[in-house]
Structure 1
Amino acid sequence: MAFTDVETAQVHDAIKSDPNGEDLCKLGLLYSTGQCGVVDYVEAHKWFNLAALMGSDAAKHYRAEVALEMDTVQIANALSAARQWLATRH
């Protein structure tokens, strides 16, 4: 799935305010496909994990796919980053 520059900007703006599961899932897709400039599975997993926590079933699927490309240290880093992001939101 390709995103336009406008959609990409909208996702980044939503993350700064009040993101929902769909927004976070889109951000995961941007990182997992390199549309943010580089493929970053740790960032993708982080955003998919957060989206899944917000009820996104698609994010659960994508998170599992991305995890197949990662080692256990990368997954641990992604989970830690997700926890840190949640801690700064509350």
Structure 2
Amino acid sequence: MAHSLEAAAYLIESRLADAVRGDIDAYYDLGIAYSSGSEGIDVDLVEAHKWFNLAAVGGNVAGQACRAEIASEMSAREIALAQRQARAWLSMGVRGEA
């Protein structure tokens, strides 16, 4: 169990580092992790929507589809929060790589 928690922490840390560099695939991977709870990560649809939204803005078609899919399970308030978080991320000057 501890090993899987370490793996989850490493996944998030490494993909966040890539996301800071604007890696669109990292945005998508983070969305998958938070939407599915993979690797022992808690499911967080707001966080997942944020990352899928960032991937979608960068042109990731799968990110667009996943964002739409999880949005059907979220309240309007949760979606608005996720969108604010995505805008905040972009306002930090992080831009995706095509």
Task: Give the TM-score normalised by the residue count of structure 2.
Answer: 0.77
1:52 to 34, 53, 56: 56
Stretches of structure 1 that go unaligned for 5 or more consecutive residues are none
Letter aligned with residue 79 of structure 1: Q
Instruction: Check the 8 A contact 1:52/1:59 in 2, yes or no.
Output: yes
Identity %: 39
2:26, 2:19 → 1: CA distance? 7
1:85, 1:12 → 2: CA distance? 12
Give the superposition deviation at 1:68: 0.8
Stretches of structure 2 that go unaligned for 5 or more consecutive residues are 1-6
Over 2 Å off, 4+ runs: none
Alignment partner, residue 20 of structure 1: 23
- Bigger Rg, structure 1 or 2: 2
1:15-61: per-residue Cα shift (whole Å, max 9, x none)?
23x13221100010010011362100000000000000111000001
Task: Give the TM-score normalised by the residue count of structure 1.
Answer: 0.84
Over aligned residue pairs, what C-alpha RMSD do you find?
1.8
1:1-90 alignment, distance < 5 Å: 5=7, 8=11, 9-16=13-20, 18-35=21-38, 37-89=41-93
Report the count of equivalent residues: 85
